[in-house]
Chains A and B, each alone.
Chain A
Amino acid sequence: MSSAVEDTLTVRVWEALDTVVDPELDQPITELGFVEGLDVTADSAGGRRVRLRLRLPTYFCAPNFAYLMVADAHDAASAVRGVSSVRVELEDHFAADEINAGVAAEAGFGGSFPEQATGELSDLRAAFRRKAHLACLERACRRLIDDGWEIDALADGRIGDLPASQERDSLLRRRSELGLRTELDAPLFVEDSGDRVPSDQVAKRLRFAKAVRVSIDGNAGVCRGLLQTRYQRIAQEGEG
């Protein structure tokens, strides 16, 4: 029987996991259905242990992204006040043992895959944050264009021109991850570096941003579908 403390902590850990995103899909692992189980129990020293079980759409999902999600989930749960220890178990994945052991030992990515990794994943993570920013920028600009903005005029747009909306919130979050300005007077249509895109190049950049957005949205849909099919099969095989 779990106590009120554990129930409260379960809610807080779940909220913390809402901040962990799949880097490729730019969506929280909680919404994607990747969190299979979350248990909070009392330990002998009077602290609270968290056990998380994660699952992915395929056995061969890219191990580097899997590692990032497991490590981020570990960090997010550990940061919740009142949690004394966290164990994350990735399940049904070809590299689950290496990833789980590496994250538990806080070995870092290179320590988890001593033979196969060279260095940490910060560049990879940054590359996908740039893609996520571009996709969010396209969504935000589409809103303005629907409101009658000319594409070239986006070059002079500012954050403050965006109406308060989910698109604006998402864009601001991605900008702050990249270290870009988020004030209302900051230029809207910027490169990854924060430099303003000249008006004669806005259309082309926007078109590319759209391809990024179509790609990310599409991948997310595929992953959701595969996850569902995969675990239906595993459940059926378990019964058989």
Chain B
Amino acid sequence: MYRKDGENYFVVDSHVHFWDGSPANQANRYGKGFIECFFDYHRNLSPEEYHWPKEKFEKYSEETLVNDLFHDGYVDKAIFQPTYLADFYVNGFNTTEQDGAVAERHPGKFIVNGAFDPREGEAGLARLEALTERWRLHGVKLYTAEWRGESKGWKLTDPWAYRYLEKCEQLGISNIHIHKGPTIYPLNRDAFDVADVDDVATAFPNLNFIIEHVGLPRLEDFCWIATQEPNVYGGLAVVMPFIHSRPRYFAQVIGELLYWLDENRITFASDYAIWHPKWLVERFVDFQIPGDMQGEYGVLTADTKRRILGINAARLYDIEVPAEVAAQLPESERAGGGLVSAPRVPA
């Protein structure tokens, strides 16, 4: 919980990792290149006092994770998003099982999301079912640029992806987090293209599609799709840290998102351990659209910030919001200290 100037903010960090990118776990030069890329993002966009040494960044302890998120970082609930990268890392980069083990040692703190890969065919469907049973999944994170032998990625519109999404509906997995990456083959396509999200969002109106880093570097295509598909959400992983290094750009992205979507479909995320939630939360609560841009984008109210920081994700994952926070929501959205479902989000 974060409190400032009489306002209470319930913080759901919708995208955190517990990874092992250490040299011992790197299977090849791609594994090395991947963690170095993350590390450069970390150093380029974090305030200097939050810079980690490379060794710590490659592999950090469970104690560090829990302390940073819940003790220092104001996070009330964190959602683990796995990133397997089995071709790059001997034991995987960040699997559901690794996350789950941590979550079980800290009851009530984490939500464990799973993953699927449609290239696993029939066997993968059974695995998803088992994974759901073991970890009681309500969400999955899909990384479409993941390599798998000869295949260098997949699309949501692949026939097998439809089978998996149907399976998600049956299993009660309602939140589909989508992360686009750069290396999709065939290479004559734009790997960051989010057009496939448009198709599945229409085909599966009962599922929520949360596009990580709001489709960046294709913000405009994401906005265009989200404005037409009410079950498409934007996750702010990677966007949040611009608040420090490039605040005007941050204001533009938030302004565009609020114009094209609305304040109920944007969710806060740190992408920990790339960035630390402490400074992201503090600065976001203090942030305002610069004066010369307010004519165009308006201002960010405490209510909007409250929704982005926690309320929106709480609705997606059916997380109970403390009474002191719910009490600051508009009357129509309150119910006995809890939270009434948002009209846009199917139960």
- Residues B40 and A229 in contact, CB atoms below 8 Å apart: yes
- Residues B219 and A211 in contact, CB atoms below 8 Å apart: yes
Residues of chain A within 8 A (CB-CB) of B188 are 64, 109, 117-121, 123-124
A221-233 interface mask toward B, CB cutoff 8 Å, 1 = contact, 0 = none?
1100110111001
**B218 on the interface (CB 8 Å rule)?**
yes
- Tell me the nearest residue of chain B to A210, going by C-beta: B256
- Residues A62 and B218 in contact, CB atoms below 8 Å apart: no
- Residues A219 and B185 in contact, CB atoms below 8 Å apart: no
**A208 on the interface (CB 8 Å rule)?**
yes
Contacting residues of chain A (42-82) with chain B, CB-CB under 8 angstroms = 58-64, 67
Residues of chain A within 8 A (CB-CB) of B322 are none
Q: How far is the CA of A94 from the CA of B150 in the complex (A)?
A: 15
Of B150, B181, B216, the residue contacting A115 (CB under 8 A) is B150
Residues of chain B within 8 A (CB-CB) of A116 are 152, 185-187
- Residues B37 and A58 in contact, CB atoms below 8 Å apart: yes
Q: How far is the CA of A34 from the CA of B114 in the complex (A)?
A: 38
Residues of chain A within 8 A (CB-CB) of B190 are 62, 64, 124, 127
Of A24, A117, A215, A233, the residue contacting B220 (CB under 8 A) is A215
Q: How far is the CA of A173 from the CA of B34 in the complex (A)?
A: 37
Residues of chain A within 8 A (CB-CB) of B224 are 208, 211
**A101 on the interface (CB 8 Å rule)?**
no
- Tell me the nearest residue of chain B to A59, going by C-beta: B33
- Residues B182 and A219 in contact, CB atoms below 8 Å apart: no
- Residues B33 and A60 in contact, CB atoms below 8 Å apart: yes
- Residues B217 and A219 in contact, CB atoms below 8 Å apart: yes
Interface of chain A: mostly helix, strand, loop or mixed: helix
Contact residue range for chain A?
35 or more
Contacting residues of chain A (178-230) with chain B, CB-CB under 8 angstroms = 207-208, 210-212, 214-215, 217-219, 221-222, 225-226, 228-230
Take A60-B37, A63-B187, A109-B188 as given contacts and tell me if A212 and B220 are in contact as well, using a CB distance cutoff of 8 Å.
yes
Contact residue range for chain B?
35 or more
Contacting residues of chain B (175-204) with chain A, CB-CB under 8 angstroms = 181-183, 185-192
Take A60-B182, A225-B44 as given contacts and tell me if A219 and B216 are in contact as well, using a CB distance cutoff of 8 Å.
yes
Contacting residues of chain B (48-98) with chain A, CB-CB under 8 angstroms = none
Take A214-B253, A215-B217, A219-B216 as given contacts and tell me if A117 and B186 are in contact as well, using a CB distance cutoff of 8 Å.
yes
Most A-side CB within 10 Å, residue of B29, B36, B259: B36
- Residues B252 and A229 in contact, CB atoms below 8 Å apart: no
- Residues A218 and B249 in contact, CB atoms below 8 Å apart: yes
- Tell me the nearest residue of chain B to A60, going by C-beta: B182
- Residues A94 and B219 in contact, CB atoms below 8 Å apart: no
**A14 on the interface (CB 8 Å rule)?**
no
Q: Min CB distance, B169 to chain A, in Å?
A: 31
A-B contact pairs, 29 of them (CB 8 A): A24-B217, A59-B34, A60-B34, A60-B183, A62-B190, A62-B192, A63-B182, A63-B183, A64-B187, A64-B189, A67-B187, A109-B188, A113-B187, A115-B185, A120-B188, A207-B259, A210-B256, A211-B256, A214-B219, A214-B249, A214-B253, A215-B218, A218-B217, A218-B219, A218-B242, A218-B246, A219-B217, A225-B245, A233-B39
Q: What is A's interface to B at a CB cutoff of 8 Å?
A: 24, 58-64, 67, 94, 109, 113, 115-121, 123-124, 127, 131, 207-208, 210-212, 214-215, 217-219, 221-222, 225-226, 228-230, 233
Q: What is B's interface to A at a CB cutoff of 8 Å?
A: 29-30, 33-34, 36-37, 39-41, 43-45, 150, 152, 181-183, 185-192, 216-220, 223-224, 242, 245-246, 249, 252-253, 256, 259-260
